[in-house]
Amino acid sequence: MRERPPIAQPFPGRQSAAPFLFPAVGILLLFTVFPFLFTLTLTLSRVSLVGGLRLDFGGLTNWIRLATDDRFWNSLSNTVLIVAAAVTLELLLGLALALLMNRPLRGGGIFRTVFILPMTLAPIAIGYTWRMMYHETIGPLNALLDMAGLPSVAWTSDRHLAIFSIILTDVWHWTPFMFIVLLAALQALPGEVIEAAQLDGTSGWQLFRHIIFPMLVPTAVAVTLLRTLEAFKIVDEIFIITGGGPGVSTESLTLHAYYTGFLSFDLAYGATIALALFLLVLASALALVRVTRRYQAAELWS
């Protein structure tokens, strides 16, 4: 009997692994770590553009300016409102649609395809589409209201209403993402557990509340986390639909950073806003993960 050759170890020593790791580490350093450090440096600098880019140490000037900038606080509160309202609605609607579609339904495949279409569109295209939808004189929404004998709505020119129009657009865009992921999670649930509960005479609500929902929580948390991180960066649709207006009533943090950094070319302060947004997103993600762990621990003990 021939002896089998020994299986080669992929990385017998640290030295031989290094050449394989180097490209990935290099790319990470080049495209993630270096830009982050450069942004951090900018936030502590005074920038001069005379004859080329020159950075002088500026201490905490930009951070002090941030703390006293009412436009920053306004864009922060707008962003938080958009994220909280849009992600909550997307989760609830996505879950409702997933539950609806998780049963034998004639034409279910067509519905599923139609439901996920908005997610496949580019935000810029969605921005232009909804800008036309909201147009007060020639837009289809007001035309429908007019046909129903209802007064026109100032969808994007009323400073109190405009932010809700932005939320509506975001919900339309991203509910399909929640739907498709939650539907996949629902279809992956162990059927025998649900059947056993049904045999025990569990009502529909009890089945959802005590069996289905706890099993869906990890997936729901994951998609909520992903959507929250993404929603904090909302910019394209706002830029196209309202430009942050009327006034600054729909200006998000990213849009504020864009205007500051790339229209005013105030690079240091624009970088400070961007870094503040990063810290906010990081804190939100950590908080969401912590809350979820507590919830899961409580479920285990209940």
Partner 1 sequence: MARRFRLIGILVGLALCVALLPVGAAGQGKPFSGATLTVFTQNPPYIAKPVQMFAPAWQERTGGKINLVTAPFGELYSKLMSSFALGTAAYDIALFASAWMGDFAGNRYLLDLTDRIKADAGLNWGDILPTYQQTVNWGGMLYALPIDGDVHTVFYRRDALENPKHKARFKTKYGYDLRPPATWKEYRDIAEFFNGWEWAGDGKKRFGVLEAFRRGGQAFWFFMSHAAAYVSVPGQKGNMFFDPQTMKPQINNPGFVKALEDWVALVKLGPPGMINFDSGDVRSQFAAGVAALALDWGDTGIVGGTDPKSIVRGKIGTIVLPGSPQVYDYKTGKWATLDKPNVAPYLAFGGWVCGVMVTTKNPSAAYDFCRTIAEPKNSYTAVTTAETGLNPFRASHFADTSGWKKFGFVEPDLGSYLGAIKASLAHPNAQLDLKLPGQARYLDALETQLARAAAGEITPKAALDRAAAEWEKITDGQGRDRMIALYRAWLGLPAK
* Binding footprint of partner 1 on the chain (CB under 8 A): 46, 49-53, 71, 135-137, 152, 154, 156-157, 159, 242-249, 259-266
- The CB-of-263 to partner 1 minimum distance in angstroms stands at 5
Name the token pair of 23. Answer: 């490209």
Q: Which is nearer to partner 1, 180 or 241 (CB)?
A: 241
Q: Which is nearer to partner 1, 67 or 92 (CB)?
A: 67
> By CB neighbour count within 10 A (0-12 exposed, 13-18 middle, 19+ buried), where does 170 fall?
buried
- The CB-of-178 to partner 1 minimum distance in angstroms stands at 30
CA–CA dist 185, 214 (Å, integer) = 12
CA–CA dist 249, 158 (Å, integer) = 9
Find the helix packing angle between 140-147 and 123-133, rounded to 10°. Answer: 30
**Which of 76, 113, 123, 115 lies closest to 93 in space, CA to CA?**
115
- The CB-of-249 to partner 1 minimum distance in angstroms stands at 6
Q: Which is nearer to partner 1, 156 or 254 (CB)?
A: 156
- The CB-of-147 to partner 1 minimum distance in angstroms stands at 17
Q: Which is nearer to partner 1, 46 or 112 (CB)?
A: 46
Q: Can you give the C-alpha Rg of the chain in angstroms?
A: 25
Residue 42 region, left (φ>0) first, then alpha (ψ -120 to 50), else beta? alpha
- The CB-of-247 to partner 1 minimum distance in angstroms stands at 3
Q: Which is nearer to partner 1, 112 or 159 (CB)?
A: 159
